[in-house]
Amino acid sequence: MLSQNHLPTLSDVIIKQTLFLKRSDIQHQLLAITLSLVISWLLSKWFWRWLQKTFPQATAFIWNDARLPLGQYLAMLIEELGFPLISLIALNLSQIIFITLNYTRGLLTTAITLMCIYLFYRFFLASLYATFSMAAVREYHYRLLAPLGCIFILGTIVNLYDSVEQLAQISVLTLFNSSITLGNIFILIAGLYFWMTVVIFLEKLVHIFLGNRPQIDSGSLEASLLLIRYFLIALGIVVILGYIGVNGTALAAITGGLSVGIGFGLQQVVSNFISGFILLFEKVLKPGDIISIDNQVCEVTKLGIRATTVKMATDNSEKIIPNQKFFTSDLTTYTGSDRLVSCSIVIGVGYSSKTKQVMELLLQVADTHPQVLKNPAPLVFFVNFGDSSLNFELKIWINWLNDINTRKQIISDLCCLILETFSKHKIEIPFPQIEVHIDQIRSHANSL
């Protein structure tokens, strides 16, 4: 470990890098590496276009299928490995020329090593694309694998002319008597990024393995995973800040200063965050719940820490509702403790109808529908004597599953069956009638 007096400064690093790049042997090798990579890239693109024209079926729509057939997998291997293979050939030829001319070839050797690692990386990536879902592999290719590869390549290049450990100790600024180095900044940014990526990746893996099990409620699982995600992210922030040596007193001072601004300027945002934590901890709402808010029926699709996304039953649109609204508005949930929902159909029949027959027919109609539950059993009530009809109520219970329109569909089916059944048994469904009586004597007097 170098003492504080011998630590390099940022200007020292820039001067050292400039002197390194001014060396003629370094410039010759960089030129050879650049030409080799450019020519290899052009040749690989030309070869792939030739394959597309020669074998259009094997090379067409290569990224559209979740699992690739053998022909498309071989074509993908050629596309993935073409550039690194041709680059290795070109770099080795350049190294042979440098050996013949007795030139320095340290950078070329490093470039060949890195290209071999890149070749293995592309082969590993092609295997993942052929084995797992392409959308998932592509997401974590760019979010996890590609950033790790870039950091490894940059670290290898930096080590050619300087030590990464010494560069990490360069002080950029001083904050609250604490020195902030390049290493601290890198660990803070990269550490938080990779920690959050890994936490989200593990969350999705747990959801894949446990989400399809019938004994586990999917809404409770998603809510629990969301809580665990935010807990792990907060834990990672604390650990990383402690690792890089952030002064706790300084952090408390900054937080205290910001709290005043947060209290006035971000009051609604903080309120939504607190409401989100309450919703998650108390499990008032879960993804998949059917609720009614502001007299609109909707389904909870995503429960977030700041806002909740719901799907409206009227037009299937999605609406983002701040979490605070669930505590300030009247909320009705149809699937809070269970997913059993009662539905009622009120129907009127003529006064000449037999009440017992009507009640029996309504129960028979309810029993014939496969989505009407037998327990609790359907019920029929003679409600009242209407102006033009005898009014009955059919009450049924359904299991509200994933479709938000299940209730409307079942009621529609039952109404059609009731109309058909009543028509067969000649039971009249009357329409409102108004009788008008004319007083003839008064009309005659008025005419005189």
Residue 421 has pLDDT above 80, yes or no: yes
Residue 403 pLDDT exceeds 80? no
DSSP string, 29-47: HHHHHHHHHHHHHHHHHHH
Q: What is the pLDDT of residues 230-282, one digit of tens each?
A: 888 888 888 887 777 766 565 665 565 555 655 555 667 777 777 777 777 77
CATH of domain 340-425: 3.30.70.100
pTM score of the predicted model: 0.57
User: 172-215 pLDDT, tens per residue?
Assistant: 666 656 677 778 888 888 888 889 888 888 888 887 777 667 66
Asked if the model's pLDDT at residue 3 lies above 50, the reply is no
Two domains, one topology: 289-333 and 340-425: no
In angstroms, the CA 355 to CA 360 distance is 9
- Sequence spans of domains, the chain: 8-168, 289-333, 340-425
The encoded tokens of residue 154 equal: 């940059």
Predicted confidence band of residue 96 (pLDDT cuts 50, 70, 90): very high
Distance CA 404, CA 297 (A): 8
How much is the pLDDT for 85?
Answer: 93
Contacts of 59 (CB under 8 A, 6+ apart): 48, 51, 52, 72, 75, 79
Specify the pLDDT at position 67: 60
Residue 37: which pLDDT band, with cuts at 50, 70 and 90? Answer: very high
Pick the CATH number of 289-333 from 2.30.30, 3.30.1380, 1.10.287, 3.30.2420: 2.30.30
What's the confidence (pLDDT) of residue 1? 41
Residue 129 has pLDDT above 80, yes or no: no
For residue 93, name the pLDDT band (cuts at 50, 70, 90): very high
User: How high is the pLDDT of residue 146?
Assistant: 86
CA distance 149 to 143: 11
Long-range own/partner contacts, residues 319-326 (CB < 8 A, 24 or more apart)? 321/293, 322/268, 322/272, 322/275, 323/272, 323/273, 323/275, 323/276, 323/279, 324/268, 324/271, 324/272, 324/275, 325/293, 326/275, 326/279, 326/284, 326/285, 326/293
Is 405 or 54 the better-scoring residue by pLDDT? 54
Number of H helices, E strands in the chain: 16, 10
Cβ neighbours of 41 (radius 10 Å): 14
What mean pLDDT is predicted for residues 32-42?
93
Angle (CA) 196-198-203 rounded to 5° is 95
The gap from C-alpha 243 to its chain's centroid, in whole angstroms, comes to 30
Other CB atoms within a 10 A radius of the CB of residue 72 amount to: 21
Stretch 6-20: mean pLDDT: 66
pLDDT for 2 = 43
Position 106 scores a pLDDT of: 84
pLDDT of amino acid 84 = 92
pLDDT score, position 416? 92
